[in-house]
Structure 1
Amino acid sequence: MSSKRVTRMALWRAILTFVAVVALFSCAPKAPPAPQAPAKPAPGSKLVTPADEVFAALGCAQKPLPYLIVEKNVLTPNPAKAGAEVLHSLVYAFCPKAGGQADTGTLTRSLTFKGKRVFSDVTKGVSVTPGRVAVDAFLAVPPGAEPGTYAYEVEYVSDSEARKRKAARVLSFEDTIELVLEK
């Protein structure tokens, strides 16, 4: 064999070896991607189910209207640590009176520890939208907060004419969740 032919064969062997190695590594199982923290939800409200579907699913035609029910009310993480940010997730279903209008009222949030109110805020002009709605809000736990069990209370009271007349049904809800702070 001539030396050109040997060199050419060696070159082809090198190329084939390179292609085989690349193919082998491209077929090798890959390590799974590192788990990522779930995306932080944006604060605010989002319509989950339209009003007509909620009206039918909850049998609102047979209920006194307006009808409001809290379906989910949780704090995450719970237990939490002082200085942490806690997500308050609330899901409600609302069937309004005929006409399907949103209701406006006052939302009060408060945090009680050992019978003493340590936080409270009042927001007027809060709109309750017909349908099933998810609401996310964040609470900052003060860095110096004492460990223990807190009561987190949420209350909504309608501004509607129902309160003024007292003859009609008043739209309101109140719910309390336990929040545990660890050292």
Structure 2
Amino acid sequence: MINRLPTIPLLRVLLLSSGTVLLAACATGQGSTPIDTIQSWFSRKDKGVRQPGEKLVSPPDVVWKERNCARLQRPYIDIDLNEILPSRVPAGEEFNHRMVYSMCPLRTGEGVVGDLSRRITFKGNTVFEDISRRFEIKPGKWQLDAFIGIPAEAPAGVYALEVAFSGGSVRFQRSANLVVSRR
């Protein structure tokens, strides 16, 4: 005879877990819809596991094959991801900016050196700018993470984060929006 412990059906466990997350999210919603609150909760959870700095995602030989670099004008750089987490940030907190790029070099192992800047604008005015001089875009696929704080006195509204690079014959610029709210 097999000894069986009493079990809760899987569906009931999932419903109870989902309900708990939903209730916790709604309790902290402060005027947001439940869906917005849940998305914000997951964004903050994802942001919490990220670390600042750069990380190799795919080595140069893998990117060379995936992108068919031999047929491209090089150096070739593609921005695979330009993301802000969370996209809604209360004044006084920070957000994560993640950029992922893929690079095919002109010559094996050769990067491109230039200036990488992040600029935040609000209503057309620059409110923050950070420039990394002599930043190297490296062959392969790389992930860059930075954490940027929003001052507690920042006005509520839609802000734009612009990331740009200029070095040698390589130039790119991308932007993403974030919403700053007052607590």
Amino acid at match of 1:88: H
Aligned length: 149
Relative to the length of structure 2, the TM-score reads 0.73
Aligned to 1:180: 179
Specify which of 51, 54, 68 is matched with residue 60 of structure 2: 51
Partner of 1:103: 112
- Shift in Å at residue 29 of structure 1? 4.6
Q: Supply the distance in 2 between the matched residues of 1:171 and 1:43 (Cα, whole angstroms).
A: 24
Structure 1 residue 56, shift from structure 2 partner: 1.4
Q: Is the partner of 1:55 in helix, strand or coil?
A: helix
Q: Secondary structure at the match of 2:64?
A: helix
| Aligned equivalents of 2:176, 2:59: Cα separation in 1 | 27
Residue 54 of structure 1 aligns to a residue whose secondary structure is helix
Aligned: 1:150 with 2:150: no
Residue 136 of structure 1 is aligned with which of 132, 142, 145?
145
- Quote the Cα distance in structure 1 between the aligned partners of 2:87 and 2:51: 19
Alignment counterpart, residue 75 of structure 2, candidates 43, 57, 66:
66
Q: Which runs of 5+ in 1 are unaligned?
A: 1-22, 163-169
CA RMSD, 1 decimal: 2.3
TM-score scaled by structure 1? 0.73
Task: Please state how far the C-alpha of 1:117 moved relative to its aligned partner.
Answer: 0.8
What letter is aligned with 2:71? Q
Q: Deviations over 1:55-94 (max 9, x none)?
A: 1111211111000010001100011111111011111000
Q: Distance in 1 between matches of 2:142 and 2:172?
A: 15
Q: After the TM superposition, which parts of structure 1 deviate over 6 Å for at least 4 consecutive aligned residues?
A: 30-35
Q: Which runs of 5+ in 2 are unaligned?
A: 22-44
Select 1:113's aligned residue among 122, 129, 132. 122
Give the match's secondary structure for 1:100: coil
- Rg larger in 1 or in 2? 1
Which residue among 88, 94, 119 is the counterpart of 1:85? 94
Secondary structure of 2:51 counterpart:
coil
The alignment-based identity, stated in percent, is 32
Amino acid across the alignment from 1:125: R
In 1, the alpha carbon distance for the partners of 2:100 and 2:6 equals 46
Determine the C-alpha separation between the residues in 2 that align with 1:28 and 1:130: 55
